[in-house]
């Protein structure tokens, strides 16, 4: 997109595809045609960047945030595990922030972790600017980030009950009586070894049934009265059996929300071939009917956010080329592909770009205490912009995978919608035509300010009689700045 030959129109009331909606559109001044849609930069509130430590060979700040920028993501929030050391103390947080400096193509926030015995570190981490906390109710897969017990959760809630933060849960837990022990079984010992071939996806899916999620969610809801003012959040919810429980908890006044992931909405167990361990993640990708239920929950507002849960590893750990689902590392690489993934499937289901922007920008920014700064195109907000062409398509090859290890279940799939440009705080950092601004280099900031709610008033454009209610925005090439020019 040549900024000198472009006009952008923004209106609080525009008729788009037969619907009255706020809209921003990009128009070529050469052809007079609408070319692209302008959206706020995405806020991916669940990304594993893994640095510092030896798992940086899985992913790092430079490659992970470059991949984000490619996909119109302007803010990522890094999970506390898989880096060594994990973000469970202030000292460890400072090591992570130091490792990130000068490497980030987009702005980066950080979560803290809750593990057994670190409850006295949590308030200090809040003061240092973490955007929330994550814990596991089941084995995390890495020994330095162990699962918490019900007692550990109670201690964390007591510490955080008066803090301005968020407590998040990997909500899977082994029920007291179960026919499966999940990944812990590996090749298994009788009598609880998996029933079926270990390279069969159906065997793996059966090993992590919806009961793992419902049992964990029940425990979380039961503990909520310990800290009634503390917002709780379920990460990567996959099982529709959790939805009635979540709805009732919200109706009962419990402050609890949930996210789901691109892969749970767009992939289906029925389509996964045996040995294709690129699809392994925990909780697992479930059946197509389950995805239908998640979409309905999104549309109804019961699930509020969609994230990548980008959790990469090296090819040998993923057992690429056909392998044992119980031995392969669990995680889907999607950062930078999510907008196109969601649009490809969503438009078949009557979802529009306003819906997608709400789930991936506005609500994710709210979730991590950045609304008022990120997640909208509005006065006072950072000028984080995604220029999106919804009518073009592309095939996912390694050239579209800017993350470190080129492994994703979306490889060779054709996705609709292309990110044409990504702007971070008014500066263009990526263009489909010219690539990344290597001369400027990574310009991302560390988001260590206190959590905030939206306080900036949203501009409402009121038209006088006979006047247009639109404004023209010119993107000027000089210095890659952005200016708003009234008609």
Structure confidence at residue 193 (pLDDT): 65
Spatial distance between the Cα atoms of 309 and 323, rounded to a whole number of angstroms: 22
Both 335 and 284 in one domain: the answer is yes
Structure confidence at residue 474 (pLDDT): 33
CA angle centred on 58, ends 75 and 79, rounded to 5° = 40
Both 179 and 137 in one domain: the answer is yes
Both 462 and 372 in one domain: the answer is no
Q: Exposure of 241 by Cβ count < 10 A (0-12 exposed, 13-18 middle, 19+ buried)?
A: middle
Asked whether residue 295 is assigned to any structural domain, the reply reads yes
Asked whether residue 426 is assigned to any structural domain, the reply reads no
Q: Exposure of 176 by Cβ count < 10 A (0-12 exposed, 13-18 middle, 19+ buried)?
A: exposed
Cis bond before residue 191 (omega within 30° of 0): yes
Q: What is the pLDDT along the chain (487 residues), one digit of tens a residue?
A: 566 667 676 666 565 555 556 666 766 767 776 666 789 999 999 999 999 999 999 999 999 999 999 999 999 999 999 999 999 999 999 999 999 999 999 999 999 999 999 999 999 999 999 999 999 999 999 999 999 999 999 999 999 999 999 999 999 998 876 555 555 544 444 335 678 899 999 999 999 999 999 999 999 999 999 999 999 999 999 999 999 999 999 999 999 999 999 999 999 999 999 999 999 999 999 999 999 999 999 999 999 999 999 999 999 999 887 789 999 999 999 999 999 999 999 999 999 999 999 999 999 999 999 999 999 988 889 999 999 999 999 999 999 999 999 999 999 999 999 999 999 999 999 999 999 999 999 999 999 999 988 764 433 333 333 333 333 333 322 233 333 333 3
Among 390, 417, 444, give the residue marking a domain's end. Answer: 417
Nearest partner of 76 among 48, 39, 111, 108, judged by Cα:
108
151: left (phi over 0), alpha (psi -120 to 50) or beta: alpha
For residue 186 the two structure tokens come to 């590996």
Both 9 and 114 in one domain: the answer is no
Both 28 and 55 in one domain: the answer is no
Asked whether residue 77 is assigned to any structural domain, the reply reads yes
Helical H segments across 208-283, by residue range: 210-223, 243-251, 262-266
Asked whether residue 366 is assigned to any structural domain, the reply reads yes
Helical H segments across 167-239, by residue range: 201-207, 210-223
DSSP string, 144-172: TSPPP-HHHHHHHHHHHTTSS--EEEE--
* The length of the chain, given as a count of residues: 487
Structure confidence at residue 187 (pLDDT): 41
Are the C-beta atoms of 31 and 61 separated by less than 8 Å? no
Helix, strand, coil percentages, rounded to 5, for the chain: 30, 25, 45
Are the C-beta atoms of 335 and 105 separated by less than 8 Å? no
Locus of tokens 């952005």: 482
Asked whether residue 446 is assigned to any structural domain, the reply reads no
Domain that holds residue 475: 3-32+457-485
Both 28 and 53 in one domain: the answer is no
Nearest partner of 215 among 255, 169, 263, 252, judged by Cα:
169
Spatial distance between the Cα atoms of 413 and 386, rounded to a whole number of angstroms: 22
Spatial distance between the Cα atoms of 214 and 216, rounded to a whole number of angstroms: 5
Nearest partner of 45 among 283, 371, 424, judged by Cα:
371
Spatial distance between the Cα atoms of 231 and 254, rounded to a whole number of angstroms: 8
Nearest partner of 147 among 116, 184, 186, judged by Cα:
116
Helical H segments across 403-463, by residue range: none
Structure confidence at residue 32 (pLDDT): 72
CATH code: domain of residue 62: 3.20.20.140
Among 363, 390, 417, give the residue marking a domain's end. Answer: 417
Both 347 and 256 in one domain: the answer is yes
Both 272 and 329 in one domain: the answer is yes
Residue 99 CB: number of other CB atoms within 10 A?
Answer: 17
Both 391 and 462 in one domain: the answer is no
Q: Which residues contact 32 (CB under 8 A, 6 or more apart)?
A: none
Asked whether residue 422 is assigned to any structural domain, the reply reads no
Both 282 and 232 in one domain: the answer is yes
Q: Which residues contact 227 (CB under 8 A, 6 or more apart)?
A: 157, 158, 160, 161, 167
Q: Which residues contact 309 (CB under 8 A, 6 or more apart)?
A: 46, 47, 48, 235, 236, 261, 263, 281, 331, 332, 334
pTM above 0.75, yes or no: yes
Are the C-beta atoms of 127 and 120 separated by less than 8 Å? no
Q: How many domains does the chain have?
A: 2
Are the C-beta atoms of 403 and 363 separated by less than 8 Å? no
Both 283 and 405 in one domain: the answer is yes
Measured between its terminal Cα atoms, the distance across the chain in Å is 22
Among 417, 447, 470, give the residue marking a domain's end. Answer: 417
Asked whether residue 403 is assigned to any structural domain, the reply reads yes
Both 326 and 467 in one domain: the answer is no
Spatial distance between the Cα atoms of 110 and 79, rounded to a whole number of angstroms: 7
Asked whether residue 423 is assigned to any structural domain, the reply reads no
Pair type for strands 167-170 and 133-136: parallel
CA angle centred on 42, ends 80 and 99, rounded to 5° = 35
Dihedral sign (CA 337, 407, 172, 232)? negative
């Amino acid at each position: 997109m040549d900024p000198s030959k472009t006009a952008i129109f923004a209106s609080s009331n525009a008729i788009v595809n037969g619907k009255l909606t706020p809209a921003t559109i990009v128009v070529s001044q050469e052809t007079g045609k609408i070319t692209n849609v302008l959206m706020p930069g995405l806020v991916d509130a669940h990304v594993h960047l893994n640095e510092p430590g030896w798992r940086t060979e899985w992913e790092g700040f430079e490659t992970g945030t470059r991949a984000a920028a490619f996909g119109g993501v302007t803010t990522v929030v890094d999970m506390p595990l898989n880096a060594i050391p994990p973000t469970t103390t202030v000292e460890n947080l400072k090591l992570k922030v130091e490792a990130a400096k000068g490497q980030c193509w987009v702005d980066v926030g950080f979560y803290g972790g809750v593990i057994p015995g670190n409850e006295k570190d949590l308030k200090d981490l809040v003061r240092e600017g973490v955007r929330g906390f994550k814990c596991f109710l089941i084995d995390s897969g890495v020994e330095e980030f162990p699962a918490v017990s019900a007692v550990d959760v109670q201690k964390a809630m007591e510490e955080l009950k008066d803090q301005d933060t968020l407590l998040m849960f990997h909500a899977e837990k082994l029920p007291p009586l179960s026919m499966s022990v999940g990944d812990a079984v590996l090749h298994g010992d009788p009598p609880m070894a998996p029933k079926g071939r270990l390279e069969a996806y159906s065997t793996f899916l059966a090993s992590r049934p919806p009961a793992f999620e419902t049992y964990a969610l029940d425990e979380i809801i039961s503990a909520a009265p310990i800290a009634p003012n503390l917002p709780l959040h379920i990460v990567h919810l996959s099982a529709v059996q959790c939805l009635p429980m979540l709805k009732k908890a919200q109706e009962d006044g419990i402050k609890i929300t949930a996210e789901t992931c691109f892969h749970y909405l767009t992939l289906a167990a029925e389509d996964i071939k045996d040995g294709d361990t690129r699809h392994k993640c925990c909780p697992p990708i479930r059946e197509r009917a389950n995805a239908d239920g998640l979409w309905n929950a999104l549309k109804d507002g019961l699930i509020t956010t969609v994230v990548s849960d980008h959790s990469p590893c090296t090819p040998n750990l993923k057992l690429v080329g056909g392998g044992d689902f119980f031995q392969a590392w669990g995680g889907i690489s999607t950062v930078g592909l999510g907008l196109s993934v969601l649009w490809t499937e969503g438009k078949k289901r009557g979802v529009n770009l306003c819906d997608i922007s709400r789930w991936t920008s506005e609500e994710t920014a709210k979730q991590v205490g950045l609304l008022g700064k990120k997640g909208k195109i509005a006065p006072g907000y950072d000028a984080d912009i995604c220029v999106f062409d919804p009518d073009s398509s592309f095939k996912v090859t390694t050239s579209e995978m800017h993350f470190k290890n080129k492994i994703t279940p979306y490889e060779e799939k054709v996705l609709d919608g292309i990110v044409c440009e990504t702007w971070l705080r008014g500066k263009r950092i990526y263009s489909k035509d010219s690539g990344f601004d290597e001369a400027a280099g990574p310009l991302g900031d560390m988001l260590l300010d206190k959590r905030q709610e939206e306080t900036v008033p949203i501009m409402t454009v009121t038209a006088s009689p006979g006047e247009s209610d639109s404004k023209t925005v010119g993107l000027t090439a000089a210095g890659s700045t952005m200016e708003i020019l009234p008609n």
